[in-house]
Amino acid sequence: MSKKQMSLESFFEKGERPNDEAAEDSKTVNKKKTAFKRKYEESYLNYGFIATGDSHSPSPLCIICGDRLSNEAMKPSKLLCHMETKHPALKDKALEFFNRKKHEHEEQKQLLKATTSSNMSTLRASFLEANRVAKAKKPFTIGEELILPAAKDICHELLGEAAIQKVARVPLSAYTITR
Ligand SMILES: [Zn+2]
């Protein structure tokens, strides 16, 4: 009957995982604090590389193919080697070219971030609604039949068109909460 069956608990457990990973990351950073770390130089963009990851131990990221090298490779000889072996046609491109690629990369990153967080909010809203319906012992069809139109009415009167469009993206019949 339902497309996906998943308990609310396991959903929120999954939602919490990024925090655990962040905690682990900071532990590793503390452990390695004393080791020598190479820093990113603006001039490395000439070789097509930008910095990514932890600012104390940045990794060079190739703006052309997206390859991420280790912090030890953060030096002109290694970066140039990547450019010469992987992208020989581009090695003599002007800085302007790599600058444009860098901007394109940053724009894509921003877009992806915005899309991911709005999808995540939509998914959470859907689960929270399904949980309420289950607790109230109502048929799950009430989401599409009553709750969504009512939420849209409220948005229309109080918040405006943008809010209605956001609410309309919440699937109110996609999940059945298991108890
Ligand atoms: Zn590359």
pLDDT in tens, 101-153: 999 999 988 888 888 888 899 989 999 999 999 999 988 889 989 999 999 99
Q: How far is the CA of 7 from the centre of ligand 1 (A)?
A: 42
Q: How far is the CA of 62 from the centre of ligand 1 (A)?
A: 5
Structural domain boundaries in the chain: 34-93, 112-176
In angstroms, the CA 139 to CA 144 distance is 11
In angstroms, the CA 65 to CA 115 distance is 22
pLDDT at site 103: 94
pTM of the model: 0.55
Where residue 83 falls among pLDDT bands split at 50, 70, 90?
A: very high
Q: How far is the CA of 56 from the centre of ligand 1 (A)?
A: 23
Q: Does pLDDT of 97 surpass 90?
A: yes
pLDDT at site 177: 65
Q: Classify the C-alpha dihedral 169-172-173-177 as positive or negative.
A: positive
pLDDT at site 35: 77
Q: How far is the CA of 140 from the centre of ligand 1 (A)?
A: 50
Cα angle value 17/143/9 (rounded, 5°): 25
Residue written as tokens 């290694």? 78
Q: How far is the CA of 93 from the centre of ligand 1 (A)?
A: 14
Q: Does pLDDT of 11 surpass 90?
A: no
Beta bridge partners of 49: 62
In angstroms, the CA 150 to CA 122 distance is 17
- What b/e readout covers 12-38, taking b as 16+ CB neighbours within 10 angstroms? eeeeeeeeeeeeeeeeeeeeeeeeeeb
